[in-house]
Amino acid sequence: MLAAVAAVLASPLRAQTPESVWDDVVAEWRAAVRDEGIVGASLARVQDGRVVALESEGMADLERGLPVDDQTIYHWASITKTLTAISIMQLRDRGLVRLDDPIVAYVPELREVHNPYGPMEDITIRHLMSHSAGFRGGTWPYAGGEPWQPHEPTEWSQLVAMIPYTKIHFQPGSRFSYSNPGIIFLGRVIEKVTGDVFEAYVDKNIFRPLGMRRSYFDVTPWHLLPHRSNHYFVREGRREPGGVDFNTGITVSNGGLNAPVGDMARYLAFLTGAPIDGADFDAVLPRASLEEMWEPVVPIGDNRMGNASMGLSYFLYERDGVRVVGHTGTQRAFYSFFYMDPASGSAVLAAFNTGSSDETGPDTDAVRVRISGRLVNELFPRVRASGGAR
């Protein structure tokens, strides 16, 4: 009996506190950022709605001599998709849409998509939110990459022109396949139903109620330029700036978000349900609707974080009865992630501003995978073990 007790007390879960795990991961993160040659990065831990740790490393902009600090504004790329999904749930809760409505009821241009599995009326808003509609992954149906080409389509008409050359790749609802166009079509639904442009709708219905006063899409307002991070591509061992801003065009609902870590922490406080000053959570979405978004819709499979599935635009992971919710973002040379354990009010997020165009540059994605994996698999269980579950 005594030996069993001693073994439990000596276990890694008992031996390390959340703070010691965090310190260890931060040390690894700093070393990785430096060793890989990542220009700048931020890493934060949120507990019960408060930023309990915010780490900065490197430079936000080499040309301006601007170091990364707690006000640095990053591009969060596909994490934008979660805001689009919340917007759809708002419209659902107001009786303006239903998740099982056919997408063609709101985006009739999609009737021209080639669907060998049945009529396009069978594809629903829920299918798009869960990345199970069968659309391709990328926005463009071809591989571009020429410097004179736009980063993304800038007009809805450009997407409409591609629709007759688009097909459904599998039986809708049968499996998961990550799709950027699907989320773009949801952005179109928001605009058609509300009469607002997507950016204005999110600002009024998410940013303002949550107090995310420095969050915006695409072009940086002049008063925030001193805090905006550049991004860097490494080619043949040289860092090339990608520019402070770029236009995500008509794909803004898919990946146009810019925000400082502090604003993203307010977003995570909302997701975890921890009350914070200056925020009206109920004005954004009732807790029951958020929980509905975190119910598995389609399986993905096992990975380093556990049994993975897709909810309504959130990635879900379950291991030993613990549910983790999150999303990542990758666009141009920006990389990011957030993960949270809603039951314990614990969350983490990170952003990086450097990517590689060849083998001479940093493997930023590998750093992201390694650091996020340790936080989910080591930090979250220790928060729970220390009494953080609520």
Q: Residue 387: its pLDDT value, please?
A: 79
Question: For residues 203 and 219, what is the distance between their CA atoms, to the nearest angstrom?
Answer: 14
As a whole number of angstroms, the distance between CA 95 and CA 230 comes to 41
pLDDT recorded at residue 7:
36
- Name the nearest CA neighbour of 293 among 268, 261, 315: 315
- At 227 the pLDDT is 98
CA distance 107 to 193: 11
Residue 115, CA distances (Å) to 6, 119, 129, 143, 164 in order? 62, 7, 19, 22, 11
pLDDT at 140 > cutoff 80: no
* Distance separating alpha carbons of residues 107 and 189, to the nearest angstrom: 7
pLDDT beyond 60 at 347: yes
pLDDT of residue 149: 66
Split at pLDDT 50, 70, 90, the class of 340 is very high
Is residue 262 pLDDT above 80, yes or no? yes
> 182-205 pLDDT, tens per residue?
999 999 999 999 999 999 999 999
pLDDT at 78: 98
Q: What would the mean pLDDT of 70-80 be, rounded to a whole number?
A: 98
Maximum distance among all Cα pairs of the chain, rounded to whole angstroms = 73
Domain ranges across the chain: 17-388
Higher pLDDT, 296 or 150: 296
pLDDT digits (tens, 9 = 90+) for 200-240: 999 999 999 999 999 999 999 999 999 999 999 999 889 99
State residue 4's pLDDT score. Answer: 36
What is the SS3 string spanning the chain? CHHHHHHHHHCHHHHCCHHHHHHHHHHHHHHHHHHHCCCEEEEEEEECCEEEEEEEEEEEECCCCEECCCCCEEEEECCHHHHHHHHHHHHHHCCCCCCCCEHHHCCHHHHHCECCCCCHHHCEHHHHHCCCCCCCCCCCCCCCCCCCCCCCCCCHHHHHHHHHHCECCCCCCCCCCCCHHHHHHHHHHHHHHHCCCHHHHHHHHHHHHHCCCCCEECCCCHHHHHHECCCEEEECCEEEECCCCCCCHHHHHHHCEEEEHHHHHHHHHHHHCCCCCCCCHHHHCCHHHHHHHCCCCEEEEEECCEEEEECCCCEEEEECCEEEEEEEEEECCEEEEEEEECCCCEEEEEEECEEECCCCCCCHHHHHHHHHHHHHHHHHHHHHHHHHCC
Q: Which range among 94-98, 220-224, 242-246 shows the weakest confidence by mean pLDDT?
A: 242-246
Q: Give the whole-angstrom CA distance, residue 8 versus residue 2.
A: 10
What pLDDT was estimated at residue 275? 84
pLDDT for position 11:
43
289-335 pLDDT per residue, tens: 999 999 999 999 988 888 999 999 999 999 887 899 999 999 999 99
What's the whole-model pTM score? 0.93
CB neighbourhood size of 229 (10 A): 25
Report the percentage of the chain scoring pLDDT > 70: 92
Question: Is the pLDDT confidence value at 10 over 60?
Answer: no
pLDDT at 360: 83
In the structure, what pLDDT confidence band is assigned to residue 359 with cuts at 50, 70 and 90?
confident
- Amino acid, res. 146: E
Mean pLDDT of 164-179: 96
Picking from 51, 21, 69, 84, the residue whose alpha carbon sits closest to that of residue 347 is 51
**What CATH code would you report for 17-388?**
3.40.710.10
Mean pLDDT of the 115-138 span: 97
Q: Are 249 and 150 in contact (CB under 8 A)?
A: yes
Neighbouring-strand partners of residue 43? 55, 350
pLDDT given for residue 13 in this prediction? 47
Q: What is the pLDDT of residues 12-47, one digit of tens each?
A: 445 689 999 999 999 999 999 999 999 999 999 999
Q: Looking at the chain, how many residues does it have?
A: 390
d(CA 252, CA 256): 4
Q: Would you state the pLDDT for residue 2?
A: 34
